[in-house]
Structure 1
Amino acid sequence: MDQPILSSEVQDAFLEQIFQQQKQAYLKQPNPSLAERKHWLKQLKTQLLKQQAEIARTISQDFGNRSQDETRLVELLPSIMGINYALKHLKHWMQPSKRHVGLLFQPAQAYVMYQPVGVVGIVVPWNYPLFLAIGPLCQALAAGNRVMLKMSEFTPDFSAYFQKLISEIFPSDLVQVITGDAVIAQKFTTLPFDHLLFTGATSIGKHVMQAAAQNLTPVTLELGGKSPAIIGSQADLVESIQRIAFGKCVNSGQTCVAPDYVFVPETQLERFIEHYQKTVHQFYPEISDNADYTTIINDRQYQRLKQYLDDAKQKGATIVPIYEQQDAQNRSLSHCIVYGVDSSMRLMQEEIFGPILPVITYKKIEDVVDHINLHPRPLALYYFGTQQQEQQYVLTHTHSGGVCLNETLVHVGQDDMPFGGIGSSGIGHYHGYEGFLTFSHAKSVFVRPQLSFMKFIYPPYGTKVQKMIYKWFLR
């Protein structure tokens, strides 16, 4: 779907116009009712369910190929589940939270009320363009906000379609989808939003945070990093491989929480390679003309991954391609195992974001933890094994945004758990109740009745009552 090319001045004016419209609409209706918020969410859900086929088709068109089942499983399903969860719990979330008042300040009441922050900006990446738009949109609307979403220029067909879809559900002063290139994205992040959520690369996240700082805009940064998988000393190797392979194969590894590399006991390397190859072949007997096999999003990303492999090979790594065929024209990149890696290789320095799995062997779990802690904190960590002491050692001696024990990816789909990174993998979190809180201002309210004993602490100081207060409370 081709979009008209507008001058930068017109684009800037349009962004500013939409922002001001939403700001004014928020000021006129600063605290939408429960019924209004539920109505917005139900409208969104209804249209997503109606448009499943077109959503999957346009996303597949942008990728070159992505299975419609994969889009339903990893984008539509969690989006609908998130909306359902918000609808079920929103009334409770909106209730003021009663708080304790100390004896010294009685009689009084205290509570926290949750207000919409105002106008929220959401920057959506290309790898999951529906789920990573609907997730934060759902929570921002549940919190009562106005929302502007900037879609990725690397998914032009879906972005244009989603813009049209949202315009048919919501007025522009409530939700507006913005398309356009990186210049538009940069301008978008300079708007004085009341909260800005960005999902994307760590390097770009730094620039987003700098832009937001000019307006003191609070940010939630959902970044990525190199999420490790660990096959523990007593893990079921075959079962662990199936779950790791699934996590790496979904979207051809173009997932921020995909297992980036894996630690394998040194005695198990050959078995790991053998069973990993078998498992991926079971998922995809071939990759040419396979409707289930997701291709790499664009030639730039395809060439980047090829460069990682060339760099690793030149520096002494062994590459085990799982398929003989490569289809550069259609960007079907074979899954690869890479072993004999070291820190000088690009694929061990940067997030891979593709179907390449480096393997590192180890003798002691302490060596694994030391390796992880020497590098930036990852968005996810995956441990496989039933040895409780080893599990707890990994949990308590590493930092990551989230953890799965004996599984990959699925923690992201749990609506009752916060999702977010730490350090280089992100700032803040959202999903479910934590998403509602992220897009709300928790306002403290102290209520004093007509009766008050505060006058006993007013000047002049040194009274008997004040001395009694010191005696009873300064201890």
Structure 2
Amino acid sequence: MAYTSISEIDNIYSAQEKHKDVAKHSTAQQRKKLLERLLAEIRSNEDAIQKALYHDFHKSAMETAITEIFAVEFELKQFIKHVEKWAKGKSVSRSLLFPNVSASLHYEPKGQVLIITPWNYPFQLPLVHLVASIAAGNVTMLKLSEFSKHTNQVIKKILGGIFKEEHVAVIEGEVNETTHLLTKRFDHIHFTGSPAVGKIVMKAASANLSDITLELGGKSPAIFDKNVSLERAVKNIIWAKFVNAGQTCIAPDYLLVPRPLKSEIEQLFKKELEHAFGTNAQHSPDFARIINDKQYKRLSDALTDARSLGAQLIAGGNLDERERYIEPTVLSNVAENNPLMTDEIFGPILPIVYYNQIADAISFINKKEKPLALYIFSEDSKFSNHVIRHTSVGSTCVNDAMIQILHPSLPFGGVNNSGIGQSTGWYGFKSFSHERAIADVKLMPMSKMFWFPYTEKTFKLLKWMKKLI
């Protein structure tokens, strides 16, 4: 696979630098038409997208349709519907202190944007964030993962038929190409990936004081209450954990379950995993594979180490290196220093931790870095509210999992180690826009009240103003 050369990157960057004023002054209607063309191109290439994801992940056409294509088309429809309204800006309420000031917020493009995307959802993630950048009026360099080469080719074909490189350019490469990109001065950098790489991106951005959005990850817990529809909750966790073979940043990373439910939940996992994937998940048409040998080895080593140190196998555990296949696996009694309990798993392995008191479960969560997501399964709203009040996470979903990312009125993003900034929908438009404050003064200037020299009259005016606040 030919990567984008350093000289090509430099040429594209220069062309986009010259073109960003043109993009900035495009109308919302013009951007909407581009998004409509993009939607039409994706719809006409759905078969090609599904085939590409199968080659990269052994991902089923249905799973691609749900998790990759639908997510992008849904985002496009939201932007097509709202971009003209969002781009207009809005008036804000008047203040008694400023009776002659008309105040408003104006949304303008940040300018030159770099989007760096990962391999786990190689169609969804690049396109969802690109949609927001285009809608906001930016020029964009879209750096794709080197591990999803088949999907990359489809993306290049789709975008190349709509955009000139001076507006939107696809960049392919590894560490050298990404490192070179990060030496450039961008107005905004949007990165999705691990916290470790996120720190490198943030450090590079700081050299130019570039604005930044980081979508990272972490160990997202799912906590069960004793008052729960256990069978329904287990089925929900199985879908959320094992879709895309667990390679999802907001997948449940481990379960916290009341100890009295131990026997029942373990039997349910055995039964429901067989219902989901049959007696041999390797033959299931619905179960994906690990993206590459490096990730397979990381996961298989952690699983082997956990079992050697006494982890109890509840379900799964079979491996096939040739296919990079890891069976949907559920464990308990995993050592706390094992990578499965210290690092984000990002694979089809699910540890269960049993707790006695809710305070113990909350303490277990809070000892770790703040996660990207938290899932609560309970029929008792007091339990859910208690957990929400005593934890800090990017997003929370109660009695379901992973659907919060699709809600059109909610932002997606982490907190601290799991991310900085927000994305998707209106929040994505804001992320790629500068929210500019406009104070339009009518009649006399407000500052006239404080002109030099300061006098007793100035003091009285200040005293009067303090009564209004």
State the shift of 1:96 in Å: 2.3
Partner of 2:463: 471
Partner of 1:47: 41
Residue 416, structure 1, aligned to residue 409, structure 2: yes
Q: How does 1:311-350 map to 2 (within 5 A)?
A: 311-322=305-316, 326-350=319-343
Partner of 2:19: 25
What SS does the corresponding residue of 1:329 show, helix, strand or coil?
helix
Do the aligned residues in 1 keep the contact of 2:23 with 2:167 (CA within 8 Å)?
no
Of 228, 236, 246 in structure 1, the residue corresponding to residue 221 of structure 2 is: 228
CA distance 1:316–1:449, shift in 2 (3 Å): same
Of 355, 359, 370 in structure 2, the residue corresponding to residue 366 of structure 1 is: 359
TM-score by length of 1: 0.95
CA distance 1:233–1:117, shift in 2 (3 Å): same
Query: Aligned partners of 1:246 and 1:175: how far apart in 2?
Result: 35
Of 13, 21, 46 in structure 1, the residue corresponding to residue 7 of structure 2 is: 13
Q: How does 1:37-436 map to 2 (within 5 A)?
A: 37-63=31-57, 65-285=58-278, 286-322=280-316, 326-436=319-429
CA distance 1:133–1:277, shift in 2 (3 Å): same
State the shift of 1:278 in Å: 1.3
Query: Aligned partners of 2:282 and 2:445: how far apart in 1?
Result: 79
**TM-superposition CA deviations, 1:362-388 (whole Å, max 9, x none):** 111111111101110000000001111
Do the aligned residues in 2 keep the contact of 1:151 with 1:178 (CA within 8 Å)?
yes
Question: Which deviates the most, 214-223 or 91-100?
Answer: 91-100
Amino acid at match of 2:34: W
Partner of 1:462: 455
**TM-superposition CA deviations, 1:248-284 (whole Å, max 9, x none):** 1100101001110001111111211111121111111
- Structure 2, gaps ≥5 residues long: none
**TM-superposition CA deviations, 1:415-467 (whole Å, max 9, x none):** 22100011111111111111111000111112123444643431222153x24
Do the aligned residues in 1 keep the contact of 2:29 with 2:84 (CA within 8 Å)?
no
Question: Which deviates the most, 216-225 or 155-164?
Answer: 155-164
Amino acid at match of 2:410: M
Amino acid at match of 1:280: L
What SS does the corresponding residue of 2:106 show, helix, strand or coil?
strand
Do the aligned residues in 1 keep the contact of 2:92 with 2:104 (CA within 8 Å)?
yes
Question: Which deviates the most, 165-174 or 181-190?
Answer: 181-190
Do the aligned residues in 2 keep the contact of 1:224 with 1:379 (CA within 8 Å)?
yes
Of 417, 430, 437 in structure 1, the residue corresponding to residue 430 of structure 2 is: 437
Amino acid at match of 2:286: D
Amino acid at match of 1:474: K
**TM-superposition CA deviations, 1:294-338 (whole Å, max 9, x none):** 011111111111111121122221123426x53221112111111
State the aligned residue count: 466
Once the two structures are aligned, what percentage of the paired residues are identical? 33
Query: Aligned partners of 2:337 and 2:369: how far apart in 1?
Result: 16
- Structure 1, gaps ≥5 residues long: none
Do the aligned residues in 1 keep the contact of 2:269 with 2:315 (CA within 8 Å)?
no
State the shift of 1:119 in Å: 1.3
Amino acid at match of 1:42: E
Do the aligned residues in 2 keep the contact of 1:153 with 1:182 (CA within 8 Å)?
no
| CA RMSD, Structure 1 to Structure 2 (Å) | 1.5
Amino acid at match of 1:301: Q
Amino acid at match of 2:259: E
Do the aligned residues in 2 keep the contact of 1:93 with 1:433 (CA within 8 Å)?
yes
What SS does the corresponding residue of 2:24 show, helix, strand or coil?
coil
What SS does the corresponding residue of 1:342 show, helix, strand or coil?
coil
Do the aligned residues in 2 keep the contact of 1:256 with 1:353 (CA within 8 Å)?
yes
CA distance 1:432–1:235, shift in 2 (3 Å): same
TM-score by length of 2: 0.96
State the shift of 1:147 in Å: 1.1
